[in-house]
Amino acid sequence: MGTEQVAICNDRATGMRAVIAIDDTTLGPGLGGVRWMPYPDQQAAVAEARRLARGMTLKNALAGIPYGGAKAVILRDDDGADRPAVMHAFGRFVKRLGGAYVPGVDMGTTIEDLAEVGRVAPDVSCDHEDPSPWTALGVFAGIRAAVACLDHPDLKGVRVAVQGAGHVGSALAGLLAVAGADVVVADVDDRRAERLATEVGGRRISTEEVLTFECDVLAPCATARVIDHASLRRLSCRVIAGAANDVLADRSCAAELAARDITYVPDFLLNAGGVVQIHALRSHWSTEQLRWAVLGIGDRAGHVLERAAASGHLPVEVAEDLASERLGRSVTIPA
Ligand SMILES: NC(=O)c1ccc[n+]([C@@H]2O[C@H](COP(=O)([O-])OP(=O)(O)OC[C@H]3O[C@@H](n4cnc5c(N)ncnc54)[C@H](O)[C@@H]3O)[C@@H](O)[C@H]2O)c1
């Protein structure tokens, strides 16, 4: 994949183990979240960090912000970990990279965690504001654009299945419900899904059901690579558009989705609201400026889908091309 730098971090004092992958710094320091999750081994953590870092390169380039792509994963061992100590240890490794990596929140980490990392590392994002509502707004705008391409003038009565009732999934479900969509929610945490479904006047479905649920839009807002060649054949949606990074198990799934007449809106295009908010905070934008920039994700999604339809290319190829133009070289999602 040509990752610029991979740092394997082992802190002997705390036992903290992490991987930091910096994919590309053409446009600026690598900006990307820190994931804190269990991994079977270090190799799996390296693979995940590198794939996710590539997605960040494409996302930041397409969003037009001055950052490269990077990602970190901390290997979660047990739930009894001393959280601040883990974050301090991680921060010391970030510091060694001399500003080439700017960490932010991701699955398993919180703004409090990033504030701890920031006590040691020179530059962090998401240490005082959660970007998730902005990520959700960008995904919402993208879904609206995608269903418009299916001749739905608005979201009234559009059936959306949201996978993951976490930070982004819950904010997204709220926006969709206000816009009149018919929302169903699934989460491995049944109570969380139930609570959200009640809040938005929707229905909870099981995590097994969500991928096969008959709907207009499937919005993956949980883990990576939920669409593989096996799950793909059982899909019953017309559009896939969500917040989760690295949704496709491999690049060839994009062509198979198109062959099944399912529109896949690339995750790295849709879920940029959070990084745009990070850039806005660091550049002292007004909230109105930020809101317009995030809603612009919908226009970009519409443009990509139209260009794909007109050219016969896949939406993911069009989005990669647009990002590559800005990077000055061809960059694609992982094979
Ligand atoms: N938070 C952001 O601003 C942001 C920005 C860009 C991309 N993303 C991506 O969006 C996704 C969600 O992020 P988040 O911040 O909401 O995370 P989160 O940890 O707050 O929520 C994830 C939710 O998914 C649930 N979940 C996990 N595995 C599941 C499964 N197999 N089926 C159903 N539910 C499952 C979890 O229980 C949790 O409720 C992640 O892939 C993240 O990388 C988030």
Give the separation between CA 196 and CA 302, rounded to whole angstroms.
29
Digit-coded pLDDT (tens) for 22-74: 999 999 999 999 999 999 999 999 999 999 999 999 999 999 999 999 999 99
Cα Rg of the chain, angstroms: 19
Ligand 1 centre to CA of 332 (Å) is: 23
Q: In the block, which residue shows the tokens 């299916």? A: 150
pLDDT in tens, 230-282: 999 999 999 999 999 999 999 999 999 999 999 999 999 999 999 999 999 99
- Measured CA distances, 172 to 52, 57, 86, 208, 237 (Å): 22, 24, 31, 21, 18
Ligand 1 atom nearest to CA at 134:
3
162 vs 325: CA distance, rounded Å: 32
pLDDT tens digits, residue range 292-305?
999 999 999 999 99
Which residue minimizes the CA distance to atom 17 of ligand 1?
A: 107
pLDDT at 128: 86
Ligand 1 centroid, distance to 59 Cα (angstroms): 17
Delimit the CATH 3.40.50.10860 region(s) of the chain: 5-57+67-120
Q: How far away, in angstroms, is 238 Cα from ligand 1 center?
A: 22
Q: Cα separations (Å) of 281 from 29, 236, 278?
A: 16, 39, 5
Best residue among 185, 188, 189 to mutate for probing ligand 1's pocket (most ligand atoms within 8 Å of CB) is 188
Taking 90 as the threshold, does the pLDDT of residue 103 lie above it? yes
Percent of the chain with pLDDT over 70: 100
Determine the residue of 223, 267, 297 to mutate for testing ligand 1's pocket, defined as the one with the most ligand atoms within 8 A of the Cβ atom. Answer: 223
d(CA 122, CA 215): 46
Residue 114 in tokens: 């990033």
Q: Is 214 exposed, middle or buried (0-12, 13-18, 19+ CB in 10 A)?
A: exposed
State residue 151's pLDDT score. Answer: 82
Distance of alpha carbon 94 from alpha carbon 101, whole angstroms: 7
Mean pLDDT of 4-21: 97
Ranking 75-84, 160-169, 188-197, 323-332 by mean pLDDT, the lowest is 75-84
Residue nearest ligand 1's atom 18 by CA: 166
Distance between CA 258 and CA 268 in Å, rounded? 18
Closest residue by CA, ligand 1 atom 25: 164
CA 310 to ligand 1 center in whole angstroms: 33
Confidence check: pLDDT of 80 > 80 = no
How high is the pLDDT of residue 30? Answer: 98
**In the prediction, which pLDDT does 127 show?**
82
Instruction: Write the residue with the smallest CA distance to atom 2 of ligand 1.
Output: 132
Among 306, 266, 311, 335, which Cα is nearest to 61's? Answer: 266
Residue 289 — very low, low, confident or very high, per pLDDT cuts 50/70/90? very high
Query: How high is the pLDDT of residue 241?
Result: 98
Average per-residue pLDDT in the chain? 96
What is the dotted CATH code of the domain comprising 132-272+301-323? 3.40.50.720
Report the atom number in ligand 1 closest to the C-alpha of 136.
Answer: 3
Question: What average pLDDT does range 297-321 have in this prediction?
Answer: 97
- Ligand 1 center–CA 311 separation, angstroms: 33
Q: Which residues have C-beta atoms less than 6 Å from ligand 1?
A: 106-107, 131-132, 135, 163-169, 186-189, 192, 207, 221-223, 243-245, 271, 274
Architecture per CATH, domain 5-57+67-120, reads as 3-Layer(aba) Sandwich (3.40)
pLDDT at residue 164 greater than cutoff 80:
yes
- Judge whether 71 counts as a catalytic residue: yes
Q: Give the global pTM.
A: 0.96
| Residue 281: predicted pLDDT | 96
pLDDT at residue 41, as a whole number: 95
Return the pLDDT at 150: 86
Q: Which residue intervals of the chain bear CATH 3.40.50.720?
A: 132-272+301-323
Give the number of the atom of ligand 1 that is nearest the alpha carbon of residue 169: 16
Q: Are 223 and 152 in contact (CB under 8 A)?
A: no
Residue 300 confidence (pLDDT):
97
* pLDDT digit string, tens, across residues 123-146: 999 888 899 999 999 999 999 999
Q: What's residue 22's pLDDT?
A: 98
For ligand 1, the distance from its centroid to the CA atom of residue 246, given in whole angstroms, is 12
Cα–ligand 1 centroid distance for 244 (angstroms): 6
Which residue's CA is the closest to the ligand 1 atom numbered 38?
166
Q: What strand order describes the sheet that includes 159-163?
A: 203-204, 182-186, 159-163, 217-220, 239-240, 263-264
The b-or-e profile of 80-108 (16+ CB within 10 A means b, else e) is ebeeeebbbbbbbbbeebeebbbbbbbbe
Interval 116-125 mean pLDDT: 95
pLDDT digits (tens, 9 = 90+) for 172-220: 999 999 999 999 999 999 999 999 999 999 999 999 999 999 999 999 9
Mutate to test the pocket of ligand 1, among 130, 139, 187, 218 (most ligand atoms within 8 A of CB): 187
